Chain A
Amino acid sequence: MTQPLILIIEDEASLRRFLVPALANNDYQVLTAATGADGLAMAQSHNPDILLLDLGLPDLDGCEVIRSLRQWSRKPIIVISARNQEQDKVQALDLGADDYLTKPFGAEELLARIRVALRHATQTVADTQVLQFGGLRLDLERREVAMDGIPVRLTPLEYRLLEALAQRAGKVATHAQLLNEVWGPVGAGQTHYLRIYMGTLRRKIEPDATRPRYLLTEPSIGYRLNVD
């Protein structure tokens, strides 16, 4: 298997200086671009397997970059942003970014996100009918859920919610995405529905609902099904 190619679109030299060796040392090929325009051009010419995109670029709005990329590419995009930019993150995720990292972040966190993103890019849900996350087992064909081997009875909505999360296991799912997938267009803006169902789902699945192991909260953004 060839080494995956990573394109880093990041204007700050010090961050590139840290990212390039960290990634190269973990068997990735790395390309860098300092502006959004350069990044888009390089993405077209090199077709990287994964993109790391800083939202605060000097020339283009990060969301613009995602929008242009998503017109022709389904390759995973991981967004890098500063703290307190929750709205930008949500917008980027809703536009099709796969995950996000908040500055400052550690190398291990970055590598974990890249692994998850690449795994999702290479496999589709259709391949695997049974998903296993630690003690949580999800049989997509038979629509059965079990925790540590014990079947869990879920309502249809709870099941759909869990399924939606499982289909992006390890990645963050925004409130808007989950509402749209579970409730459809009527769910738009009804975040409290989502919260209530997430609460009941946690009580059924998590051993301790206030210390979730599987259904993690991404404050102000959405939820993530933990795969570690």
Chain B
Amino acid sequence: MLFGAILGVRAVPEPQPSPRSVPDLGPGTVHSRKEPPLSDLSPETVHPILVALGSEPRALRLVHTGFRMAREQGRPWVAVHVAVPDWETAPEADQAQVWLREARDLGAETAWVTAATVCEGLIQAGAQCRADQVVMGHSRPRGLWDRLERSRAQEALRRSLGVRIVTLALDPAPGGRVARSVGQRLGAVLAVGAILGMCGVFASALAVVAGFPGVPPVFALGVGFIAHRWGRAGSVPATGAALGLGALLFLPGPPFRAEGWTRLLVLAGILVLVQMVVLLVDRLHQETRSLHRREAESLLLMILGRALGRCASAREVAEVLAERTRGMFQAQAWLRVPELDDTWITLPEAPEPPACPRPSVLLPRFGRGANRTDPFAPLFLEGCSFVALAGQGGADGLLQLRLEGGRPLAPDSWGLFQSLAVQGALALERVRGLEAVHQARLATESERLRNTLLGAVSHDLRTPLAAIQGAATSLLLPEPLPEATRLDLLAMIRDESEQLNRLLSDLLELTRLQNGALRIHKEWQLLDEVVGSALQRLEARGGPLPIRVDLPASLPLVPLDGALMEQVLINLLGNALRHAPASPVTLCAWEEPGAVQLAIADRGPGIPAELHRRVFDKFFRMPHARNDGGVGLGLAICGAIVDLHGGAIWVEDHPGGGARFRITLPLDGAPPEPLEPEPSPLSLDTLP
């Protein structure tokens, strides 16, 4: 893509990358991900290496080359992708993002440049980051024109930036290719024949014109080239043919002379030697190449392992695996996890993942007993390759890969594919372990809570019950009690049962709030009314209370659940009255952009700063609090209710002494339509 853009060889203009994946920065903008921005590099900074990344799969080589060069030279490096509007497709842009991310993982600063041509974009990026070396890939030129274009583009770059340009072939190198079809084979035979013929003519010409015995070196050259180009399959017959030709040249006319035979033997020796050397060198070359590929693969696996190590859920593991697999194989990939009901969960979710046999059918084929010729070979079914993510109990899931056109995976990629599966399996296992730990922690927590609850409940329920029972049995005694005692006992029964009722209501409320059984029912309400009804309930017990309420008439309607918020106010005001007896309690509210603030303040002893958070815990009671019937649920309930409203509750020191509880309630959602104003107050004559 990159060089395609420079060379202009891409015939089909392609749509611009979608704004979803690529921030549209407008033409000529450079977007850098790391600090300092590209343009801010000071002059004395070491010149970085600029690596121009395209979106083709082999751009990964560029990433690694850039990384290696930067490390060797001890310099920073910048990976840049030039997006040419109307040229790049959305998947290509996505892929380029993947390469940029990879580069970032390897320590590069990355930039995304939008420009009219790739060359222009590179000049821009190069100038801004003061690079003195540009690494770029090139495809194999397809003719003279390509070559010319490319050198022109490189020349332009070199001129405007004054940089050294390193190009890397992105296509697989030719050579070692084996002719397959009949036509190719025929062509090869013809080519071999032609080469040998030319060698013969050339050698004869040398001998005739210069008197130089050129047959062995010339034929050695020819056979060497053939061995390099077509391998053993070409060079062995070619050696035979060359010997035949040599025989014709060295042994002219009957009968065969002994001198000719020695020459022929020498020629044969030379040819075999040359052939062996060339084949050996080629093999070495190939090994080196595959070594490089393995190195790249292991680097990729390392990056994958690091990315997987950051995942916290099976879903994330699947997403990372799918994305990297897509990058490595240019293919679609999914994780299939078996469910209890013999179906698959497909991760990441795809609208239409390819068909896949049921787990009970597919999974046994990965078991130990399954006979497969090559343990590394993925299972190939209906256009998809599968490998198992082996867990403790056999296959935990499958990694499914679909190459374009439903091709099977080439054997030299099996190892990589299996390694991906192993990494995925390890990551899944780790994630599951994390989940198990989390669950265990939750279980311990709820166990602890249950114990506290049981302790608190058994104590706090028994106390009023004991009082009620005692009072009632005393009243039932045969000896009549004095009237005053009788009334006192009866009042006690009433008070203690009220206390029991409060405790049970609190427990019930908190349970319902916390297990999600309670559905919040928000309505747009006036705070006046909620405050009023809270005061009404508080004062119903014992007459007017020293609570000063300051609510501006301009307060807007607030979306809240009246009954729940009333409970919050009752708990907070009740607490203030209990803990700060005989001190004035104030309740005020004001509007802020997007929220309404409430404050309930007292002048009591206050709450130490280190307990500001803990007071909202369940069963938390102030140290040295007197036994006043509270069980430490009130504030926990307040917290849960305010949470349900999407608001916040906290406590702070009241300036001047005491505690101040604060609540923020968000004013979210569309407020109700304003009412049509009523024209005038009622007057008799306007009425019917």
- Residue numbers of A with Cβ under 8 A of B are 83-84, 86, 104, 106, 142-143, 153-159, 190-193, 195-196, 198-199, 202-203, 208-212, 216-220
In the complex with contacts A210-B528, A211-B535, A142-B684 CB distance below 8 A: yes
Q: Are A192 and B523 in contact (CB under 8 A)?
A: yes
Q: Are A199 and B529 in contact (CB under 8 A)?
A: yes
Q: Are A210 and B531 in contact (CB under 8 A)?
A: yes
Q: Are A191 and B523 in contact (CB under 8 A)?
A: yes
Q: Which residue of A lies closest to B549 (CB)?
A: A210
Is chain B's binding surface mostly helix, strand, loop or mixed? helix
Partner of B551, one of A156, A198, A210, A220: A210
How does the 8 Å CB contact mask read for B229-253 relative to A, with 1 for contact and 0 for none?
Answer: 0000000000000000000000000
CB contacts (< 8 Å) of B553 on chain A: these are: 203
A142–B685 Cα distance when bound, in Å, is 11
Q: Which residue of A lies closest to B497 (CB)?
A: A104
Q: Which residue of A lies closest to B672 (CB)?
A: A192
Partner of B536, one of A142, A158, A198, A212: A212
Q: Are A83 and B505 in contact (CB under 8 A)?
A: yes
B419 within 8 A of A: no
CB contacts (< 8 Å) of B494 on chain A: these are: 106
Of B42-50, B578-586, B673-681, the one contacting chain A is B673-681
Q: Which residue of A lies closest to B545 (CB)?
A: A211
Q: Which residue of B lies closest to A155 (CB)?
A: B678
Q: Are B563 and A220 in contact (CB under 8 A)?
A: yes
Q: Are B682 and A154 in contact (CB under 8 A)?
A: yes
A selection of 26 A-B contacts at a CB cut-off of 8 Å is: A83-B505, A84-B512, A104-B497, A143-B682, A153-B682, A155-B678, A155-B681, A155-B682, A156-B687, A192-B523, A195-B523, A195-B525, A195-B526, A195-B557, A196-B557, A198-B526, A198-B529, A199-B526, A209-B528, A210-B528, A211-B532, A211-B549, A216-B533, A217-B529, A217-B532, A220-B562
In the complex with contacts A155-B680, A196-B526, A143-B536 CB distance below 8 A: no
A161–B428 Cα distance when bound, in Å, is 64
Q: Which residue of B lies closest to A219 (CB)?
A: B563
Q: Which residue of A lies closest to B550 (CB)?
A: A210
Q: How far is the CB of B507 from chain A (nearest CB, A)?
A: 12
A202–B672 Cα distance when bound, in Å, is 21
CB contacts (< 8 Å) of B681 on chain A: these are: 153-155
CB contacts (< 8 Å) of B501 on chain A: these are: 104
CB contacts (< 8 Å) of A203 on chain B: these are: 553
Q: Are A156 and B529 in contact (CB under 8 A)?
A: no
Q: Are B529 and A192 in contact (CB under 8 A)?
A: no
B323 within 8 A of A: no
CB contacts (< 8 Å) of B682 on chain A: these are: 143, 153-156, 158-159
Given contacts A84-B509, A106-B494, A193-B675, 13 further A-B contacts (CB under 8 A): A84-B512, A104-B497, A143-B682, A143-B684, A155-B682, A158-B682, A192-B523, A196-B675, A199-B528, A210-B528, A211-B535, A211-B539, A211-B549
CB contacts (< 8 Å) of A219 on chain B: these are: 533, 562-563, 566
Q: Are B684 and A212 in contact (CB under 8 A)?
A: no
Q: How far is the CB of A18 from chain B (nearest CB, A)?
A: 12
Q: How far is the CB of B674 from chain A (nearest CB, A)?
A: 9
A216–B535 Cα distance when bound, in Å, is 11
CB contacts (< 8 Å) of B684 on chain A: these are: 142-143
B225 within 8 A of A: no
Q: Are B563 and A212 in contact (CB under 8 A)?
A: no
Q: Which 6 A-B pairs have the closest CB atoms?
A: A217-B533, A153-B681, A192-B524, A155-B678, A219-B563, A210-B549
Q: Which residue of B lies closest to A206 (CB)?
A: B532
Most A Cβ at <10 Å: residue of B536, B539, B675, B687: B536
Q: How far is the CB of B522 from chain A (nearest CB, A)?
A: 11
CB contacts (< 8 Å) of B533 on chain A: these are: 216-219
Most B Cβ at <10 Å: residue of A86, A142, A217, A220: A217
A179–B627 Cα distance when bound, in Å, is 46
Q: Are A211 and B536 in contact (CB under 8 A)?
A: yes
B508 within 8 A of A: yes
A37–B549 Cα distance when bound, in Å, is 50
A199–B551 Cα distance when bound, in Å, is 12
Q: Are B562 and A192 in contact (CB under 8 A)?
A: no
Q: How far is the CB of A106 from chain B (nearest CB, A)?
A: 7
Q: How far is the CB of A3 from chain B (nearest CB, A)?
A: 26
Most A Cβ at <10 Å: residue of B509, B512, B524, B687: B524
